[in-house]
Amino acid sequence: MTDDLLARHQAVMPSWVTTYYGDNAIELVSGSGRRVTDAAGRTYLDFFGGVLTNMLGYDIAEVREAVERQLATGIVHSSTLYLIRQQVELAEKIARVSGIPDARVFFTNSGTEANEAALLFTTNHRRSNQILAIRNSYHGRSFAAMAITGHRSWSASALSPVSVSWLNSGERLRGRMKGLSDADHIDAAVEDLREVLATTTSGDVAALIAEPIQGVGGFVHAPDGLLGALKKELDNHGILLIADEVQTGWGRTGDHFWGYQAHDVQPDLITFAKGIGNGFALAGVVGRAELVNAVPATSFSTFGGNPISTAAGNAVLDYVLDHDLQANAARTGTILLDGLRAALGDTKIVGEIRGRGLMIGIEFVRPGTTDPDTAATMRVFDECRKGGLLVGKGGLYGNVLRMGPPLTLTEDEAREGLAILTEAIRTADAESF
Instruction: Quick: pLDDT tens for 366-415.
Output: 999 999 999 999 999 999 999 999 999 999 999 999 999 999 999 999 99
CA neighbor of 32 nearest in space, from 52, 54, 56, 57: 57
**185, HSE (Cβ side, Cα atoms, 13 Å):** 21
Q: Which domains does the chain have, with CATH numbers?
A: 2-59+325-431 (3.90.1150.10), 64-322 (3.40.640.10)
Query: What pLDDT is stored for residue 176 in this prediction?
Result: 87
CA neighbor of 317 nearest in space, from 251, 379, 219: 251
Query: What pLDDT is stored for residue 2 in this prediction?
Result: 54
Could you give the C-alpha distances from 418 to 49, 223, 228, 377, 423, in angstroms and in order? 16, 26, 34, 16, 9
Judge contact between 172 and 180, C-beta under 8 A: yes
Burial class (CB in 10 A: 0-12, 13-18, 19+), 253: buried
Confirm whether pTM is higher than 0.85: yes
Query: What pLDDT is stored for residue 348 in this prediction?
Result: 96
Query: What pLDDT is stored for residue 1 in this prediction?
Result: 45
Name the percent of the chain lying above pLDDT 70.
Answer: 99
Q: DSSP letter at 222? A: P
The residue ranges of the chain whose pLDDT is under 50 are: 1
Query: What are the residues facing 403 on neighbouring strands?
Result: 360
Q: Residue 123: how many CB atoms within 10 A of its CB?
A: 21
Judge contact between 49 and 57, C-beta under 8 A: yes
Query: What pLDDT is stored for residue 21 in this prediction?
Result: 95
C-alpha torsion 197→210→336→329, nearest 10:
140
